Chain A
Amino acid sequence: MQDIQVEPVLTLDAVPEDFQAEAKGVSLRDVTKKYGSFAAVQHITLDIAAGSYTCLLGPSGCGKTTTMRMIAGHEDISAGDIYIGDTRVNGLPPTQRNTAMMFQNYALFPHKTVWDNVDFGLKMRGLAIADRRARVSEMLEIVGLTQFSDRKPAQLSGGQQQRVALARALVTRPQVLMLDEPLSALDESLRVKTRGELRKLQRQFGMTFIQVTHNQDEAYSLSDQIVVMDHGRIDQVGTPVEIFSRPLSTFVARFTGDNNIFAGTVTSTVADTQGQFIQLEVPGLGTLLCLGDYGQVGTEAACCIRADLMQIKSLAEAETSGCGPATNRVTARITAVEFTGYVTRVSLAIERNGMEVLYKARTPDWLTTSFAEGQTVVLDWAAADCVFLSH
């Protein structure tokens, strides 16, 4: 039975002055986790700044959760060191690390009330009853659940449960808060709203947040730093903008957005006023020019172009506008047009090699054109927008 009610929002004004926990940074030095012969995490070295919001991003099985559990102390480290602040925490139990964790699906104690759930960490730490009472009620006020304090988790909505989990983790005032897919159990609209609240909360509290997610939008909107992981390794570390606009690998390019990826061989490197360009020979297609400064001639590599950075032109228009030296051009046939709201997604097949590419246009822009399915068009994109991917 679910009450129909307005989801309460966080009341950040209620955060007391003295709540400011001392944030600590986290460092991983060549950390490896093995299960038998299987390495879940391999030689990870990573620095997370104190007070930052970091997302570990990657598909399931990439080692992101294991990495977080090792930081939290729920998983032994097979090799390497983990520091929280200046303290080496290898082998320390979770409590002595001054971290807290918010679990996927929340892991609320089903037999305890909201109040008792939030109070749990304080009770275990043996705080005086008066202190506990004050801090729990303060925390419930922050997450807007004061009126639900006597309910059991099963009597709450998903969003309310999420808040309880958050309150339970925050109430012990950890230096580092870890969040395991905190939004995945919420529906879309609530997720977007809660996303913003989490970010505000982190700013307000000033503590270090480390979040595990498989959703790049979530990572983009929340993070100061994104760590993209694949097969137990870190693929790329950067700000959301860096990750989005300058992916370093095919994996990141594929995982973080609608990128069209072309694999080929490096044939030459060209210096230009705009930067260092690399020429890539793509089998069956020809040569593509892309931005990059570390390609070696003769190596297998790739480049990518974001679907929204290409220009679509009719054959006639292409004829007249011509094609500059720093522009890549292919002829393609429109195979499908998909309207998704603000964006229209256009699938095309390249004439020369039949490769599928995606073009994205703002729907209002698209509607001013007269392209139709089956029509052959030209796709142009600037070499400066085309990112070189070394692997």
Chain B
Amino acid sequence: MSATWKTFKPYALITPQTLVFLLFLVFPIVMIGVVSFWEFTGYSMVPAFTLDNYQGIFTSDVTFKTYLNTFKFLGLVWLATLLIGYPVAYFIAFHVPKLEWQILLFLVCTIPFWTSNIIRMISWVPLLGREGLVNQVLLGGGLIQQPLEFLLYSDFAVVLGMVHLYIIFMIAPIFNSLMRIERSLITAAEDLGASGLQIFKEVILPLSAPGIAIGSIFIVTLVMGEFVTVRLMGGGQSASVGKLIQTQIGSLQYPLAAANAMVLLAVTMLIIVSVLRVLDIRKEL
């Protein structure tokens, strides 16, 4: 009895989460995959096996342009979150001595998540709008003659909105890996004659690379599927794959949306695999 139990115990223990995993992750994705081969008329969908949905995606230059635009957002957001997030994480990890302060500063980074989309959307206007604070300061300072329109409802605004929202996902893993760096390594490097820049390049950067990798994976998955920020900050005029899928779902074109979702899933996985090829994150897990 007890021997049998010992054999089955590990299986018994993993069964619940396996079931949850299968039911709420694998099954829905499989369903989306199945639906992506269905036929649909303007009004309804019919179980079938057709490659038309995929053919439509791969032959349309809308797909190409939309992916291009999504990659553009991804690239810019990734770069901005890295360039802003790294110094922030560095500052919190190395220049904020007390844990309480570190936690407090982290909470500050999560503020964008405390507000609803609508509040956020509304609150950008007084800052970036045509008569917003930024334009007024620039106009008042005589730096520009016409208000800058690109500040809001533009690709710039989309990137700004996403960076604002997602930067915590870059900061947190980088902070984590920075905190794991033994301070004696930095002293040792100093002792061996490394300058501040050399210490960063030779010790801190390579040791925080796994954090950058994890942060990048977060950013990739978040930005590739983005549609809310794209719509709100882009004023509905910016395209992303997520938004394209949303428009199709809104018009009840489920099979087409499902096919797009499958392609998006594959593309996102591909990017993540490439990131993992470059950077080893096992140490962090």
Contact = CB atoms under 8 A, between A and B. Distances in A.
B192 A168 contact: yes
Nearest to B194: A124
Interface in A92-129: 93-95, 99-101, 103-105, 107, 109-111, 120-121, 124-125
A125 B206 contact: no
A72 interface: yes
Contact of B190 (A94, A104, A105): A94
A376 interface: no
A120 B192 CA distance: 7
B54 to A, nearest CB: 43
B207 interface: yes
B184 A104 contact: yes
B184 A120 contact: no
A93 B190 contact: yes
Interface in B184-212: 184-185, 187-195, 198, 202-203, 206-207
Contacts of B61: none
B229 to A, nearest CB: 36
Contact of B187 (A107, A109, A125): A107
Contacts of B188: 101, 103, 107, 109
A207 B167 CA distance: 51
B100 interface: no
A124 B198 contact: yes
Nearest to B183: A107
Nearest to B198: A124
B207 A103 contact: no
A172 interface: yes
Given A74-B187, A101-B188, A104-B184, A111 B194 contact: no
Given A111-B207, A120-B202, A172 B187 contact: no
A120 B189 contact: yes
Interface string A322-338: 00000000000000000
Given A104-B184, A105-B184, A124-B198, A172 B190 contact: no
Contact of A111 (B182, B187, B190, B206): B206
B191 to A, nearest CB: 5
Of A103, A104, A124, A125, chain B has the most CB atoms within 10 Å of the CB of: A124
Of B182, B193, B202, B207, chain A has the most CB atoms within 10 Å of the CB of: B193
A74 B188 CA distance: 10
A320 to B, nearest CB: 63
* Main DSSP-derived SS at the B contact region: helix
Interface residues of B, number: 17
Contact of A72 (B184, B191, B203): B191
B193 A103 contact: no
A188 to B, nearest CB: 24
Interface in B130-166: none
Given A107-B185, A109-B185, A100 B191 contact: yes
B203 A101 contact: no
Nearest to B195: A124
A186 B182 CA distance: 20
Contacts of B203: 109
B184 A95 contact: no
Contacts of A104: 184
A124 B184 contact: no
A107 B184 contact: yes
A101 B194 CA distance: 14
B192 A124 contact: yes
Of A94, A104, A168, chain B has the most CB atoms within 10 Å of the CB of: A94
Given A124-B192, A125-B193, A103 B184 contact: yes
Interface string A64-90: 000000001110000000000000000
Contacts of A172: 192-193
A125 B195 CA distance: 10
Contacts of B194: 120, 124
Given A109-B203, A110-B207, A111-B206, A121 B184 contact: no
B180 to A, nearest CB: 10
Interface in B8-52: none
Contacts of B191: 72-74, 94, 99-101
Nearest to A99: B191
Contacts of A99: 191
B183 to A, nearest CB: 9
Nearest to A97: B191
A91 to B, nearest CB: 14
Contact of A100 (B185, B189, B192, B206): B192
Contacts of B187: 74, 101, 103, 107
Contacts of B184: 103-105, 107
A168 B182 CA distance: 18
B207 to A, nearest CB: 6
B280 to A, nearest CB: 10
Interface string A197-228: 00000000000000000000000000000000
23 contacts: A73-B191, A74-B187, A74-B190, A94-B191, A94-B193, A100-B191, A100-B192, A101-B187, A103-B184, A104-B184, A105-B184, A107-B182, A107-B185, A109-B185, A109-B189, A110-B185, A111-B207, A120-B189, A121-B193, A124-B189, A124-B193, A124-B195, A172-B192
Interface of A: 72-74, 93-95, 99-101, 103-105, 107, 109-111, 120-121, 124-125, 168, 172
Among all A-B residue pairs, the 9 with the closest Cβ atoms = A121-B192, A107-B184, A107-B188, A95-B193, A124-B193, A124-B194, A101-B191, A111-B206, A94-B191
